């Protein structure tokens, strides 16, 4: 790619920023075109300094403040986005700080910062163009301001490291000295973005910008927020999905220490408001509540399983991907292999439970919360407040984990506002207990999958039929995002194309989905549908390779000729792991590869299983090709972390349903993996350029299948249902 010339028209910018959020975008209005003449005087930054443009504020001491619209939840996006602005701005990286604009400010300014949505691994790849442009425009304005002061031509000046130099004369100034003059200028009509080969800061493993306060307790998370005169609330919603509050007896707890008020919240929850959260929690636990359990009180894991089993056999199903004629080709197969897999409900279990703080008056509503989508939080706040959106504001706070739980759903905001409305003028912080968080999630959806593969007499895969049965996330979250009733996202990793594409070319392919939606709320869960689909596809391909009597790597390679990027990451892990060589006494390897969120990832796991059936994951080699690598060391951190998330899901992750609600309550019965279970992870970051892929999610999906395939190699046992806590791998079993 060479230099890109970018027009600085507001209309183009808006259309683009609307398009990138497509999958998760909101129904927010897109204002019409406004021209380049931004209203003057330029808006001030939080510190009262006029901004150069929406993305950049330079203080007189040369401090650079970069505005970040997406949310930081651990994934490093804050630093990566700042790197991209700074790359074009040509500022001194050591002087960079960041700040979050509010969603209310963004609405007032025609959504100048684009999407706030931080999901779908979109943070970097969805905004790289306009944030780089933001940096470039600010640079040009700073140069122009210096040139005007010197009365020289701007094209004789260059900016580097926050210093502007007039090349012919050698005179210099700094960004801080010309920033206020630059703020008065009109932006240039177009700017040139650098050729990626000229990037100095993008691609560098710089340290995160948000670490210091995380080392000493100063970082304020939503749960930590304290406002003057603030009260605290704890909440219980009906433990049965769809159930409601019938009655509660506030008199039983109103005299308990600190209790101020017991309130009904919407029609399905009760909250206690108290001086401290501990007091609210104690009183809530003592509060007698009677529930109207509604229609779902008899729903159980067994009844859901029956729904899914019916879907596996059903005549009708939605089509996801098809070529050739898989059903017919299956009849001609020399050998047919068939297997059924299962993936359970799982909770996001962010370390910081859901929370939001709200202050409501009849005129205004303000909300402070950790959110993956500030604009969606603002919409939820306005709706709950019963106020126009311009009378509401949301202040974003760093998230103690997101993983998809805090993006499409702002139930915690709706509740916080509903509580605050019953205490007008007083800020109330609502913090869910872990038990509430565990039982009122928006869960990783449940599915089963029957796969049938037809091999010819040479052991070549001629036909593959994939029948998914189970829950659609989009149907549960927002049916408007579906395509005529079809949830194409269900087929993630099995679709044509390079966003969530299948890694293999099979002459006869049929992928379909029998949608069966149990009354358990589904949600986007880090990785989303690729988590189960990669298990289904990668474990079954492994089954087919063994059925064909072929090496699983060689078998895959033959099917991947038309998928060079998928093949490249697979080859990279195989080579680094030493596929085909001895892994050590009792240690066996397994592979997995996939394309999701426009990135290509693969893993090779090394696993041993002892005679007691105990699994040890010794080492994982992982490769990722995200197109461009903005911060390689943060990509490594995301890849390592993805294995903790994916392996926790594999080892322990399961929410079971009884009497219409989730049985698990806390980390004692919904465990997450610990340090002692963590394998060594070797990360290969191999950006091949020319496209932008996501980082935070894709690798989660290869964790489980790579380990499951290694367990098969070690034991000869094919595990088709997770989590492994249910599986007995004893040698005699």
- Residues in contact with another protein by CB under 8 A are 73-76, 207-208, 210-221, 223-224, 226, 232, 257, 276-278, 349-353, 398-403, 431, 433-434, 633-634, 637, 640-645, 648, 666-668, 672, 674-676, 678, 680-681
Closest CB 667 distance from another protein, rounded Å: 4
Nearer to another protein, 95 or 279 (CB): 279
Q: Give 582's strand partners.
A: none
Nearer to another protein, 282 or 571 (CB): 282
Q: How far apart are CA 140 and CA 162, in angstroms?
A: 12
Whether the CB-CB separation of 327 and 193 falls below 8 Å is answered with: no
Nearer to another protein, 405 or 563 (CB): 405
Nearer to another protein, 391 or 434 (CB): 434
The pairing of strands 355-360 and 428-431 is: antiparallel
Nearer to another protein, 364 or 680 (CB): 680
DSSP-assigned letter for residue 603: E
Closest CB 624 distance from another protein, rounded Å: 15
Closest CB 436 distance from another protein, rounded Å: 11
Closest CA relative to residue 234, chosen from 282, 267, 169, 185: 282
Closest CB 276 distance from another protein, rounded Å: 4
Whether the CB-CB separation of 366 and 218 falls below 8 Å is answered with: no
Whether the CB-CB separation of 702 and 594 falls below 8 Å is answered with: yes
CA 585 remoteness from chain centre: 38
Token match 């001895």: residue? Answer: 582
Closest CB 398 distance from another protein, rounded Å: 7
Whether the CB-CB separation of 449 and 511 falls below 8 Å is answered with: no
Nearer to another protein, 223 or 488 (CB): 223
Nearer to another protein, 17 or 355 (CB): 355
Closest CB 242 distance from another protein, rounded Å: 27
DSSP-assigned letter for residue 362: S
Q: How far apart are CA 608 and CA 587, in angstroms?
A: 5
Whether the CB-CB separation of 368 and 356 falls below 8 Å is answered with: yes
Q: How far apart are CA 378 and CA 365, in angstroms?
A: 10
Closest CB 698 distance from another protein, rounded Å: 14
Please state whether the peptide bond connecting residue 543 to the residue before it is cis, i.e. omega within 30 degrees of 0: no
Nearer to another protein, 94 or 276 (CB): 276
Nearer to another protein, 53 or 608 (CB): 608
Closest CB 288 distance from another protein, rounded Å: 21
Q: Is 191 exposed, middle or buried (0-12, 13-18, 19+ CB in 10 A)?
A: buried
- Which residues are CB-neighbours of 455 under 8 A, at least 6 positions away? 333, 334, 335, 336, 337, 461, 462, 544, 547, 548
N-term to C-term CA, the chain? 57
Closest CB 227 distance from another protein, rounded Å: 13
Closest CA relative to residue 705, chosen from 537, 493, 491: 537
């Amino acid at each position: 790619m060479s230099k890109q010339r970018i027009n600085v028209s507001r209309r183009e910018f808006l259309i683009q920023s609307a398009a990138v959020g497509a999958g998760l975008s909101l129904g927010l209005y897109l204002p019409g075109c406004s021209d380049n003449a931004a209203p003057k005087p330029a808006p001030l930054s939080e510190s009262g300094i006029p901004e150069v443009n929406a993305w950049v504020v330079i203080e007189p001491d040369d401090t650079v403040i970069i505005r970040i619209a997406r949310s930081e939840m651990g994934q490093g996006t804050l630093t990566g986005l700042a790197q991209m602005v700074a790359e074009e701005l040509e500022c001194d990286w050591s002087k960079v700080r960041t700040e979050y604009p509010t969603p209310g400010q963004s609405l007032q300014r025609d959504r100048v910062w684009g999407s706030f949505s931080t999901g779908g691994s979109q943070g970097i790849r969805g905004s790289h163009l306009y944030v780089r442009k933001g940096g470039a425009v600010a640079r040009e304005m700073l140069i122009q301001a210096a040139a005007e002061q010197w009365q020289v031509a701007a094209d004789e000046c260059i900016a580097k490291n926050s210093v502007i130099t007039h090349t012919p004369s050698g005179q210099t100034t700094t960004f801080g000295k010309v920033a206020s003059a630059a703020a008065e200028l009109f932006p240039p009509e177009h700017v040139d973005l650098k050729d990626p080969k000229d990037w100095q800061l993008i691609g560098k493993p710089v340290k995160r910008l948000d670490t210091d306060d995380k080392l000493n307790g100063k970082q304020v998370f939503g749960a930590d927020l304290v406002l003057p005169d603030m009260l605290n609330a704890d909440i219980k919603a009906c433990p049965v999905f769809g159930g409601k509050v019938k009655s509660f007896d506030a008199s039983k707890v109103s005299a308990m220490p600190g209790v101020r008020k017991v309130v009904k919240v919407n029609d399905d929850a009760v909250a206690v408001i108290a001086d401290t959260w501990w007091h609210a929690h104690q009183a809530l636990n003592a509060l007698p509540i009677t529930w109207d359990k509604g229609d779902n009180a008899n729903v159980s894991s067994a009844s859901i399983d029956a729904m899914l089993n019916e879907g596996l056999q059903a005549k009708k199903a939605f089509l996801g991907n098809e070529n050739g004629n898989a059903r017919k080709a299956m009849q001609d197969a020399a050998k047919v292999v068939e297997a059924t897999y299962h993936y359970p409900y799982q909770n996001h279990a962010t370390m910081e439970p859901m929370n939001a703080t709200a202050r409501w008056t009849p005129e205004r509503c303000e909300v402070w919360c950790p959110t993956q989508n500030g604009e969606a939080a603002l919409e939820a706040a306005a709706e709950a407040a019963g106020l126009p959106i311009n009378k509401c504001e949301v202040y974003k706070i760093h998230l103690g984990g997101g993983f998809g739980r805090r993006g499409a759903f702002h139930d915690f905001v709706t509740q916080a506002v509903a509580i605050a409305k019953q205490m007008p003028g007083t800020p109330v912080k609502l913090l869910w207990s872990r038990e509430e968080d565990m039982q009122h999630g928006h869960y990783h959806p449940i599915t089963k999958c029957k796969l049938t593969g037809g091999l010819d007499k040479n052991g070549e895969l001629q036909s593959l039929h994939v029948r998914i049965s189970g829950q659609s996330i989009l149907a549960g979250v927002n049916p408007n995002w579906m395509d005529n009733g079809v949830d194409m996202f269900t087929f993630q990793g099995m679709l044509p194309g390079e966003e969530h594409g299948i890694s293999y070319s099979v002459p006869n392919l049929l992928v379909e989905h029998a949608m069966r939606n149990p009354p358990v709320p589904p949600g986007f869960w880090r990785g989303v549908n690729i988590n189960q689909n990669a298990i289904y596809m990668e474990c079954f391909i492994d089954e087919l390779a063994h059925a064909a009597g072929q090496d699983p790597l060689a078998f895959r390679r033959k099917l991947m000729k038309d998928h060079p990027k998928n093949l490249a990451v697979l080859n990279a892990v195989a080579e680094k792991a030493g596929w085909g060589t001895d892994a050590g006494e009792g240690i066996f390897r397994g592979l997995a590869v996939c394309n999701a969120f426009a990135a290509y990832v693969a893993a090779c796991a090394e696993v041993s299983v002892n005679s007691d059936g105990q699994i040890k994951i010794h080492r994982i080699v992982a490769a990722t090709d995200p197109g461009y690598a903005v911060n390689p060391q943060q990509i490594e951190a995301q890849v390592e972390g993805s294995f903790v998330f994916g392996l926790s899901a594999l080892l322990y992750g399961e929410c079971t349903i009884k009497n219409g609600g989730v049985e698990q309550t806390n980390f004692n019965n919904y465990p997450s993996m610990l340090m002692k279970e963590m394998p060594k992870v070797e990360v290969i970051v191999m950006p091949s350029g020319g496209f932008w892929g996501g980082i935070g999610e894709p690798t989660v999906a290869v964790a489980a299948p790579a380990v499951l395939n290694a367990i098969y190699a070690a034991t000869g046992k094919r595990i088709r249902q997770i989590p492994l806590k249910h599986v007995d791998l004893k040698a005699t079993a």
